Structure formats: structure tokens, C-alpha cells
Structure 1
Amino acid sequence: MGLHPRGPGTRRPWRSAVTAATLMTLIAGAAAGCGSDTGDKAAATQAAGAAKDRLAATPALAELVAAAKKEGALDLNWGFDGRDTGKVLTDTFKRAYGLDIKITLTPNQNQPGNAAKLAQEYKAKSPASTDAYLGSPELVLGLGPKRDDVLAKVDWTAFAPWTKGLANNDGSALTFVDLIPGFTYNTTQLAQNAVPATAQDVLKVGKPVASTPYAAQFNVLGTKEGMGADGLRAYLKGFKAAGFLGCGELNRIASGEFAAMWISCGKNIADVFAAQGAPLKTAVLKDAAITSTRYAAVPKNARHPNAAKLWVSWLLTPEAQKIVFEHDFADNHRVAGSRTAGQLAEYEKQGVKFTRVDYEFTLAHPELYNPKFKGELVSLLTNK
């Protein structure tokens, strides 16, 4: 049985006994299509009107659109958390700029694998397999001018003035969305008064708590302001994960196989599942609160660089960001109208202090991203 788009606020009953086909759909990150056909059509109309105004006001943008039309195509190896997010975005993008180009969107959430492939292709002087890259701060830094130098430095505001303040400090990438990792749990397995408020409370949960096999985000807790490196090592020795899941395998939490996941990759992923009726929520723990930014960038060896720049910059328009949140439940807190910004503000009112993990944070904390240190954390977590 497939899962179909449903509007925000709607729910479908969740059962622990699900078919193999449904499980595969969920694991692939296609758990839900949120939003609605009516809402998507309205968003497309709004995007077209806004693009018309921007084109009239910015000659450089009009020139970029013309260049993208000449290229005639856009190839993307990208992954989204909602089932229909990519299609709705690419369709709306084409309508916004009046593009009759072929967009090939290959669903792929393997950001490390994509980054490694791009680095190999650039070194071999081969065309990039994707015209635009989507990845974490650590991966974008690795592809950036300070490391493998794969990504093009772009003067984004020259043709997309709305991106002012949205690029990393060397112009090689634009901030795209902000994720909020946390303690994702099954509401039928843990009562509200049993949900941990701190990282130490997680150690006291009396039900099976899973984690990722790659210790996602745990390294960030090793800052001097956080647990510190030694404190983090001691913490992981005391945290006994009951199993290991990928970021998108929250169906195994929803089914009751595990009661929770710590640290999950983003509360928005649980929200996507919850929109389909899965009994999932995410708690943001006061002493271990993190935001993790995802970036979009264009490789120097992109086959269609103009279409790629147009795509990446358009994703930062308020219209595109609205679509992203409607389908993926996450957006960029720096963009006007961001709903993630509202969520962060609510948490901060409750006394939560976030560690903002972005390109600049990663650059400033090389010790947290040292392969030896990260490997040690994985060994402690997995007991290997």
C-alpha cells in the first residue's frame, strides 16, 4: 500500500504491521507527500508572479535565465524527506522562469557518497554527475576552496539579490535549510513525563533507544561549551544503543521496534512521518540542542552551470522555501517568513540554547571533525 499526499493537519492511522512495500517506501525517504495539490498550484502561481518582478528589476537574472534556456537541461542527484518535494519544486521552478528544459532528478540522500564522487570526477577532469550539490557543512567544506576545491565561488547577489547574507563565507555555497536533530520517540512507547529533558536523562530511559551507526551529531557535543571531548567519551561509554538506524528509518521507531532514536538527524523527518499518522515526536534537549544547516552549491565542472545557479538561488526565494516547509517540514531560518525560525524562537523562550552547526562552525572546530576523533566516537557508540 503506497502512502499518498495529504494536507497539513491530516492524519492516517499508523499500524506496526506494515507491508514490505511500505517499509521500502519509508526507508527511501518517501514516507509522505505533504502539502496539497491546491496549495502547490497556488504556490506555483505566486512563484511565477514573483519571478516576473525579479526579472524586470534584475537584468543579470534575466541573462542567467536566457543562458539556462540555452543549456536546455539540469541534472540533480538530490534527496528530500517528503515524497513529492523534488517534483513540486522542479515543476514550480520551471514555471517561475518559463523554462522548457529537461530536469533529471535522481533521488539520492547519500550526501557523503555524492561528495566523494564529485571530488573524484573533478580530480579526473570529468563532468560532474550532478549540476548542484546538497550537503552538510562538513561535506561542503571538504568540497570547498580550502580542501578539494570542487565548488565554484559565485557572486550570488549579482543576479539574486535576495540571497544577501545567505552564502557561506567564501561564496561557494548557499544555506538551504536548517535541521533540528533531537530525541525522536514513539508517543505510544514513552509517556510525556518519561521523555528526557537532558542528554543525561536519555541514559535513564528504560526502553530500547536506537542511534545512527555513524554517531551523527555526537561530535558537536564535544565543544568546550558542551560536554567537552573527554566528557563526550564518558557519555558514549554510558549510552547503550539498542540498535542502529539510518536517518530515514524512523518507521522502525513508529512500529515500536525501538522506543526512540538519539541523536536523530532532524525533527522534520519525524514530522513528515507524523503527517501520515505515525506516532512520532522529537524532543529538543536543553543541554544538547543543535541546528544543522544544509547547503546547496554548484560544482566547477557542472554540465549545466547556469541552470544550476538559477536553481540554487531560486531555492532561497520565500516562495520556494514555503514549498520546502510544506513538504519537508524544514526551511531556512534566515529567510523572511521562515517557520523554522519560529520553532527555534519558541525553544529559546523555554531556555534552550542551540549550537548552530554551519560552515563557519565547522571551519572553526577542526578538532570535532578530525577523522580519528569521529572514528573513536563511532567505536564507543557501536562497541566496535
Structure 2
Amino acid sequence: MPTWISDAEYKDLGYPQMDPKFRDREWHRKQLQLDSTDPRHNPNLNRDQSDPEFWYHAARRPFNKALLRTEQHWNARREVWLKQFEQVRDMNQRRELFSDLLEDTPADVKRLVTPILHYSITMNVIVGFLEKAEKAGRALSEVLTDEENLNVLRGIRDKIDADGDKAAEDMLAEYDARSRLLAADRQEQAEEEEQERKVADVTTLAQIMNWGQKCKKDGLVEWEQGNYAEARASWRQAHDTLRPFQAADKETNELLFELHAAVLKNLSQACMKLGYWNEACKASTLATQLCPEDHKAWFRRACALEGLGNLDEAERCLQMIDECSVGRPDRGRIAKDTQAKREKLQALREREQASLKKSMEKAICRSVFSEDRKAGTWEGCNLIQGC
């Protein structure tokens, strides 16, 4: 943990929190002593550095992992800074360009836009108009004179004239929020399009499968220690590594898909533990696609759907488990687990129906559905006990 920044500032910047003992020099001294004398504490003591496990184990050490997470966060922040710098520089260049382009627009448009051109919200909107003009093969001056676009600019001008900088900031915040939603949708669509795997050569397959195994083991170690967020991060890393590739031959492909499905099942479990139900559902769904006969993958999906409240689809997953378990020696145990899950789903349905019934009774009690209902009228309360 750096000494040039306070703990509060370190936390405000979003860096992952480190164990306070990492600041203790005495703790580090004891760790170094144990590392150099006790192979139970340091399995790398008698291991050659050319062994991949040497570096894998070193990366699993809590202090080293904390340093790695900190560096990853710093790199992510740096990427954001660079993007922001590029955006500011691009915006300044476009502002000069727009000033020249506005010379060709009618005088009323100039009077409308020029006083608010220095606001970011205005620039973002005009950038959208410019992109629209380029796609349509029209001049920006023509697009700006469209009545619909003029109404947008008039709305911005009226709000800024009324409330000043605060109105501009509020509109920019709303614009950014909508842009993030659109970007998230585009990213999700791009991920779906990238699901088609590329055929990798033998060397690449060996590398990605070794790395996938390493990340899977890292996640298991963290899971056993109760570090569910770290386990999720490790399994997510394994998933990102394995997702883009496939093998040329069927046998190797089955091994790759089996490893990937195992990682996805673990990832789904970690996401459910942390309450990330949508991600858990996506991971388990992909696992069922990779290994349709894997009953554990279907069970993970059923649990994720239960968390999302989709009980009917969860029931269908349990039916798939029944089909997958035919002929298995542990079919009895699997049937017992699915029956327990069915009973839980039924209990949830009954609870939901009871809650709905109670809500309807209250609504009837308050004459919500009455045609001549008046505010504050409580007629009909005597029809239901307990109102």
C-alpha cells in the first residue's frame, strides 16, 4: 500500500482495499524468514524457477495478488484518463471545425448556437448531427436547419438561458447516462457476435488451456478461503481466456469445452454467492451450451433463474437434469437434489401467490377497482376480515 497517499484517498480512488498487515514491516520480515526456511509455508523453496508452478504459486500469494490488483486498477484508470484526454482534444478540434462550419448556416441558427457552443452538451449534440450528416451525405448546415434538430437546439438554449451552467451539467449527465446504456447494449451485442470461436493451433491451445487450468485453480484456492470476489475474478479471467478458441479435432475440442464448462459452473456459483444473478445466469447458460449433458450446469442455471425469479424456466432446467441423469450410477442422489429444488420452487410459488392474494384483498378493501372510487373512501372494508 503506498505511503504517499492516505487510506481515505486510496479508497476514494477505487483501489482495492489491502490488508492492514501489509503495512507492517515486522510482518514482512517474518514472512521473508518463513519463505527462506519453511517449505510448508513456501512450496517454491525447493522448486526450480523454470517450473510454471513456481510463478503460479508466487502470483497466488496474498501480498503479490494485492499488488497485481492494484496495478490492474491503475492501468484501468490510466486507460480512462487517456480516453478522456483524447475526447477533450477531439472536442477542442471539433469546436474549431464547427465554428468554421457554422459560417455557412443561416443567421438565425448562428444566433441560436453560438452562445451555447462552449457547453459540452451542445458539442455532443452537434457531433451527433455531424455524424448523421456524414451518413446521409449532406452538409452540416442542412442538417442543422431541419426542424426536428432545431427544436433540440432550442430546447438546450432555453434551459441554459433559464438555469445557466447547472442546466447544462444536468443535461450532460442525462446524455452521458443514455450513452452508457447504448454502449452497454452495443458491447453485449458485440460479445454475442464474438461467440464464434476461432480454430487455434496446438501451441496456442496448450497455452490457453494451461492458463485456464491455472486460473481455475487460483479460483478454487480463493473459494476455499472464503474470498468469493477473488474467486470470481480468477474464474472470469479463465473464461475470457478460453472463450475465443476451439480445436481443430473433436477430441481436443471436447477437452477444451469440458474445461471451459467447469470454469463457467464455478463462475456461476461465485456470482450467485455475490448476488450477481444475471451474470450467473449467463455463465451457466453458456455452460449448458458447451456441455448439454452436464447436470451440474443445468442445476447452476436453475439456481440462477430462481434468483432472478424465473421459476418456470428453472423448472424446465430441472426437467433437463432428469433427462441427463438417465443411466448414471448417481441418479438417485441427483433425483434427491432436484426434488428438493422442486419443493423449494413450489414453496416460492405459494409464497408469491399468498402475497398477491394479500395485495388484492387490500386493493379490494380500499375500493381500488371501484368505478366511483373516491380518495379516502374505505367502503367495502367490512367485506374482508382484518381491514
Greater fraction helix: 2
Between Structure 1 and Structure 2, whose CA radius of gyration is higher? 2
Under a length normalisation based on structure 2, what TM-score does the superposition of the two structures give? 0.25
Under a length normalisation based on structure 1, what TM-score does the superposition of the two structures give? 0.25
Greater fraction strand: 1
